[in-house]
Structure 1
Amino acid sequence: KYISGLKPRKWADQLTHSESSLEFKFDNAIDGETGVRIVYTNTSGAADSVTMSNTENTIAVNNIDTTKAYHYYSLHKPVPTAIDDFVSPAVDLRTALMLEFKKSGWTIVESSGEEAAHGASNLIDNNSTTAWHSQAGVGTPQWVTIDMESPKYIDGFYYINHPTNNGGGPKSVKFEVSQDNVSWVTVLQTDVSESYFRQRLPLVETTIARFVKVSVVDTKSATATQTQMVEIDAYNVQNVSGDNGYINSAPISLVNAKAPYIGDGSNPFPTLGAFRMQKMVGWTHSSNAVVTYDNNGPTFSLFVAPAWGLPAVANAKVHQSVDLQPGDYVLNIRSGTADGPGEVYGVVSTGVSLPDFDAVPTDPTTIGYRNLVENQSKTVEILIQVTEPTRVNLGFVYNLRSQYAATGTPWTSFKVIQLDLAKVN
Structure 2
Amino acid sequence: MLLLGSVVLLIKRPALGLNRQDALVILAMASYTLVGALEAWWDGQGMRGMDKPIRLLLAIPVLLLVMAYPPRLAWFWGGVAVGAMGAGGLAMWLKVIEGVVRPGGYNNAIQFGNLSMLLGVLCLAALGWAVTQPRRHLWVALFLVAALFGVAGSLLSGSRGGWIGIPFVLLVLLRAYAPLVLKRHSVGALVSVLLAGAAVYAVPEIGVQGRVHQGIEEVQRYVAGDRSFTSVGARFEMWRGASYLIAEKPLVGWGSNGYAEAMQTLANEGVINERAARYDHAHNEFIDTFAKRGLIGLMVLLAVYLLPMRFFAKELGARDLSIRATATAGVLLPVTYIDFGLTQGFLSHNSGVMMYAFLLAVLWGIYSRQRKALAHGEYPSINNTLHN
- Per the shorter chain, which TM-score range? under 0.3
Larger of the two Rg values belongs to structure: 1
What TM-score results when the alignment is normalised by the length of structure 2?
A: 0.21
Which structure has the higher relative contact order (CA within 8 Å, separation 6+)?
2
What TM-score results when the alignment is normalised by the length of structure 1?
A: 0.19
Q: Which has the higher helix share?
A: 2
